Amino acid sequence: MKSTRDELMFAMSELQQFVSFLVQAIQNRSSNNPVNAITCSPSDVVEQIVAKQNHINKIVKEAEEQEGTLKEIAVEKAEYQRLEGEINKLQQQLRASQQMLESSLMAVDERRELTAQAKSRQCSVKDLLSYAHLISSNFSTQMPANWNEMDHRRPWPTDLDMRAGELGKLAQQSGKLSKLTDEMLAERQNQQAVPWKQQSVVTAASTVPTHILPLEQPVCSSPSSSEGEEMMEEVVT
Amino acid sequence: MATSEDVEMEPDAAEVRRFTVELEFIQCLANPDYLNYLAQDGHFQDETFVNYLKYLQYWKKPEYSKFIKFPQCLSLLDLLQEAKFREELVNIPCTKFIQNQQMQLWRQHFRKRATLVNSTIKKQGDQIKEEGKGK
């Protein structure tokens, strides 16, 4: 398919040819000796020229319309480029905000988890203070300032502590453990550590409300309470 | 073995006794020498005993742990759930190492606490100074 430009050029070259024919036809008519063997009359050539001119006018009109269309296309292209740039910018902003939202959501989830954990392990200020007093007054987590190598106090229950408690008594009753002698008791009283009997542990145990005792069966196949006591009697010895 | 004394006791008193006994036992686990004794006596090979140690983990809950005077026993109870740790406790150097670590922590806790208190006081002092300058 020929382009508009090629059609126009071809029509103009044809027009030029017809004009030259016309000039030659006029020359032949005016002179007695015809130079070229041109048989058609000038009027025919003029008709051809007029038809060709109309054709050229039509092509020019088409070309003008195409020029207008091209301009519109250029304008639309520029608009398209502009809109595409804006879309890219918005996409980048969307991705950035998506990342921010994801990180915020993750932070919120973590905080929610921590809050749930904290709520599940709630304890009152009174309990915290009483526990802090318990562990600090007995120096079980921190060495006393006046501690020396001869001091019997340790961050764990000593042999005498273990013998003086309920387990020790059970073992003594069953005869598997020797009774605390007077010397051992005197040594104990000389120690700065306070025996378990006088601890808030036993006092707390006697006042512990039953609703918090593990009344349900143990998770694993552990011995019953009486079997447990018997087992602990054996291990204490 | 249930004694007649237990049978005559009210259920509440029996529960309190069981509580006291279990509390004492779990705190005994803080003593590395006692752990060594248990290991050498073969108690850690007994499945019932191992299950009992697993059962004692309820003491980690706040409503029970507030009665524990030697909180290190809970860390050792966690370690006792591992079979490898129970096997190693037979060796005296292992228990000596645990003992030394406990003693070091006991000694250093005083120093660390003093450092923490001093740094907190200093930070608060700096904050007060800055607020004063701002005004």
Using a CB–CB cutoff of 8 Å, tell me whether B48 touches chain A: yes
pLDDT of residue B12: 79
Give the model's pLDDT for residue B47: 92
A208 with B67: Cβ contact below 8 A: yes
Measured between CB atoms, which of A154, A201, A225 is closest to B18? Answer: A225
Using CA coordinates, name the residue in chain B closest to A167. B21
Rounded to whole angstroms, the Cα distance separating A118 from A78 reads: 60
Q: How far apart are CA B64 and CA B71, in angstroms?
A: 12
**3-state secondary structure string across chain A:** CCCHHHHHHHHHHHHHHHHHHHHHHHHHHHCCCCCCCCCCCHHHHHHHHHHHHHHHHHHHHHHHHHHHHHHHHHHHHHHHHHHHHHHHHHHHHHHHHHHHHHHHHHHHHHHHHHHHHHHHCCCCHHHHHHHHHHHHHCCCCCCCCCCCCCCCCCCCCCHHHHHHCHHHHHHHHCCCCCCCCHHHHHHHHHCCCCCHHHCHHHHHHHHCCHHHCCCCCCCCCCCCHHHHHHHHHHHHC
Determine whether the interchain pair B19/A205 forms a contact, defined as Cβ–Cβ distance below 8 Å. Answer: yes
Residues in chain B with pLDDT values less than 70:
1-11, 135
Note whether B31 contacts A: Cβ–Cβ < 8 A: yes
* Contacts of A49 by beta carbon, 8 Å cutoff, 6+ apart: A15, A18, A19, A22
Residue type, A162: M
CA dihedral sign, ordered A24, A28, A29, A30: positive
Amino acid at A94: L
Q: SS3 for B63?
A: helix
Nearest to B13 by CA among A170, A206, A38: A206
What is the predicted pLDDT for the residue at A193?
44
Res A68: pLDDT:
96
Low-confidence ranges of chain A (pLDDT < 50): 192-237
A70-A61-A50 Cα angle (round to 5):
155
Residue type, A181: T
Structure tokens at A200: 């808030």
Q: Which residues of B touch A163 (CB under 8 A)?
A: none
Distances (CA, A) of B115 to A8, B108, B111, B121, B122: 98, 10, 6, 10, 10
CA distance A55 to A35: 30
How far apart CA A197 and CA A188 sit, in angstroms, is 12
pLDDT of res. A114: 93
Question: Which of A142, A196, A223 lies closest to B106 in CB terms?
Answer: A142
Residue B85 makes CB contacts below 8 A (sequence gap 6+) with: B79
User: How far is C-alpha A63 from the geometric centre of its chain's CA atoms?
Assistant: 58
**A127 in B contact zone (CB under 8 Å):** yes
- What per-residue confidence (pLDDT) applies to A135? 87
Which residues are within 8 A (CB) of B90 and not within 5 positions of it... i.e. 6 or more apart?
B36, B39, B40
Q: How far is B110 from chain A (nearest CA, A)?
A: 6
- Residue B3 CA to residue B19 CA, distance in Å, equals 17
CB < 8 Å to A214, chain B:
58, 64
B113 contacts chain A (CB < 8 A): yes
Look at residue A145 in the predicted model and tell me its pLDDT. 81
Question: Which residues in chain B have their CB less than 8 angstroms from residue A199's CB?
Answer: 69
8 A C-beta contact, residue A204 and residue A130: no
Chain A 130-169, CB below 8 Å of chain B: which residues?
130-131, 134-135, 138, 140-143, 145, 154-158, 162, 165-167
Nearest alpha-carbon partner for B110 in A130, A131, A139, A132: A139
Contact flag A214-B25 (C-beta cutoff 8 Å)? no
Q: Is A199 at the interface with chain B, CB within 8 A?
A: yes
Burial status of residue A65 (CB atoms within 10 A of its CB: 0-12, 13-18, 19 or more): exposed
> How far out from the chain centre does Cα A181 lie?
68
Cβ pair A157, A196 in contact under 8 A: yes
Task: Please tell me the distance from the alpha carbon of residue A96 to that of residue A92, in angstroms, as a whole number.
Answer: 6
Coil, strand, or helix at residue B38? helix
pLDDT of residue A216: 42
A140, A201, A223: residue with CB nearest B23: A201
**What is the per-residue pLDDT for A39?**
63
